[in-house]
Structure 1
Amino acid sequence: MSLPEPGRRVVVRYLLPTGQATDALGELLSADASTIVVDGKRGPERIPRGAIIAAKEVPPPPPPRRPRTGPST
């Protein structure tokens, strides 16, 4: 499975040891023959290549929304 270059934002679907699938979304920090590392909201996640079901590059997150304000009176 080919991955984008480190530094790109990716989503990786992989199997946990329990057999459940989960996703890691974040910056691809590194990738070697056995493990990839994705830095997401939960911190860096080391994912064995053999557990990966699918992976792809995704666009940057949208800019944060402005806080809502109530109606002016």
Structure 2
Amino acid sequence: MSSAIPPPQFLSQARLGTRVVVRYRIEGGLTDALGELVARTGSECTVRTRRADVVVPLALVVAAKEVPPAPPRRGPRNFS
């Protein structure tokens, strides 16, 4: 028997600012949002990804977990 917390419950309890990955249903399949958990209500959460804030309805979440900090971004390559 698994003692894992259901994904919507994890997102409801996670500290804002936690880096998370959230897998959720979309038309035609599944997609992921990877970034910082920045907001939540009783029915949705917001993940700040590199591109935009993504609002995810908790009812569509199939998996969620905390992930380690992003590695530092590389500087531009020098081809001299």
After TM superposition, the score normalised by the length of structure 1 is: 0.82
Question: Runs (4+) of structure 1 moved beyond 4 Å?
Answer: 66-71
Partner Cα distance (1:58, 1:64) in 2: 17
CA distance in 2 between partners of 1:69 and 1:41 (Å)? 24
- Count the aligned residue pairs: 70
- Higher helix proportion: 2
Residues 1:33 and 1:50: Cα distance change in structure 2 (over 3 Å): same
Structure 1: any 5+ residue segments left out of the alignment? none
Alignment-derived partner of residue 45 in structure 1: 54
Aligned to 1:10: 20
Give the letter for the 1:2 counterpart: F
**CA displacement 1:1-42 (0-9 Å, x = unmatched):** 2222111111000001x1410000011011221010001023
Q: Which letter maps to 1:50? A: A
Larger radius of gyration: 1
**TM-score calculated relative to the size of structure 2:** 0.76
More strand by share: 1
Backbone CA RMSD of aligned residues = 1.5
For structure 2, the residue ranges without an aligned partner over 5 or more in a row are 1-8
